[in-house]
Amino acid sequence: MTERRIRVLIAKPGLDGHDRGAKVIARALRDAGMDVIYTGLRQTPEMIAEAALQEDVDVIGLSILSGAHMALAPRLLELLRANGQGEVPVLIGGIIPGEDVPALKAAGIAEAFGPGTSTEAVVAAVRQAAARKWAKE
């Protein structure tokens, strides 16, 4: 037996072409000892759900800067449930206005981070989300 690592998928849905933030988060999670699957720009919810399934990830982190989070996030959750992966927590970062957070959480998003969230906070949230998922296995 080897120690189980957290497998986290960092995905960048939507059409905007900036992935600097996503890469910073990916590196921070790597530095926290996680296996980070990074899939690059312009991922559709279908692509993200498929990658999450094949990679059997513990957590999904979405970086959304396009403002399309209210459409993309619920769609992804729906696909995950259809795949039998409804238990995989989804976290969102990017430019999420505070007033959207309650609706996102109501839709099933585990955590939504506004701009300026520290990488430490994101790392801690991913750890907690993975721990909660493992506890239910």
Contact residues for other proteins (CB under 8 A)? Answer: 1-5, 7, 26-27, 29-40, 43-44, 46-47, 50-51, 53-56, 83-85
Classify each residue of 89-98 as buried b or exposed e, where b means 16 or more C-beta atoms within 10 Å of its C-beta: bbbbbbebee
Pick 26 or 73: Cβ nearer other proteins: 26
Rounded alpha-carbon distances, angstroms, from residue 50 to 19, 79, 82, 85, 123: 20, 9, 11, 10, 24
Pick 44 or 117: Cβ nearer other proteins: 44
CA gap 12, 135 in Å, rounded: 28
Question: C-beta of 1: minimal distance to other proteins in Å?
Answer: 6
Tokens of 57: 């990830």
Pick 59 or 112: Cβ nearer other proteins: 59
Inter-helix orientation angle 20-31/119-136, to 10°: 60
Question: C-beta of 34: minimal distance to other proteins in Å?
Answer: 5
Q: Are 36 and 8 in contact (CB under 8 A)?
A: yes
Question: C-beta of 44: minimal distance to other proteins in Å?
Answer: 8
CA gap 59, 115 in Å, rounded: 20
Question: C-beta of 91: minimal distance to other proteins in Å?
Answer: 17
Pick 53 or 103: Cβ nearer other proteins: 53
